[in-house]
Amino acid sequence: MRWRWLWLPVALFLTVAGWAVTSPVGSAPDDDFHLSSIWCSWPADACEPTADGQAILVPRNVVQSADCFRYRDDVTADCTEATAADSSLVIATHVNQIEHLYPTGFHTAMSVLVGDDVERSVTTIA
C-alpha cells in the first residue's frame, strides 16, 4: 500500500526529464532572456558589456539559437545547426544584468552549469 504513491513522483520526473531532453535548445519564449542572463552571470569573461553599459555582448549560439524556428510551425529545429557552432558575440539588451527583473541568485546558481557545449549546458540547466 505504501508503494502505491511512489508512481506519481516517478511519473512526474520522467515527464519533466523527457520534455527537457526533447525540446530544442532555446525553444521556450523566454529562453533568450534566461539563457543570456545565466551565461553572463559567471564566469565573468563569458559576456562583455558594451561601452555605454546599456547592453551586453552574448555568444550568438546562446541568445539566437532558436531564432530560425521560433514561432514558425513550418520549420524544424534542424535549422539551429548553423547557429550552434557560431560563438561570435551579438548585442543583447534583454538580460537580467541590464533589466534587473529577477533576483540574481537563480541565474548565478545556474551559471555553474555553463560549459563549452551549449546544447549540453542548456539540457543540464533545464
Structure confidence at residue 121 (pLDDT):
82
In this prediction, residue 1 has a pLDDT band, given cuts at 50, 70 and 90, of low
Least confident piece of the model among 9-13, 51-55, 66-70, 103-107: 66-70
Query: Sorting pLDDT into bands at 50, 70 and 90, what band is 120?
Result: confident
Higher pLDDT, 79 or 113: 113
Q: Number of folded domains in the chain?
A: 1
pLDDT value at residue 43: 66
Q: What pLDDT does residue 12 have?
A: 93
CB 100 within 8 A of CB 40: no
Across 82-109, average pLDDT: 86
Structural domain contains residue 4: no
Mean of all residue pLDDT scores within the chain: 83
What the block records as the C-alpha cell of 101 is 527583473
Range of the domain at 58: 25-125
65 within a domain of the structure (yes/no):
yes
Which residue has better confidence, 89 or 117?
A: 89
Classify each residue of 77-92 as buried b or exposed e, where b means 16 or more C-beta atoms within 10 Å of its C-beta. Answer: beebeebeeeeeebeb
Place of cell 540547466: 125
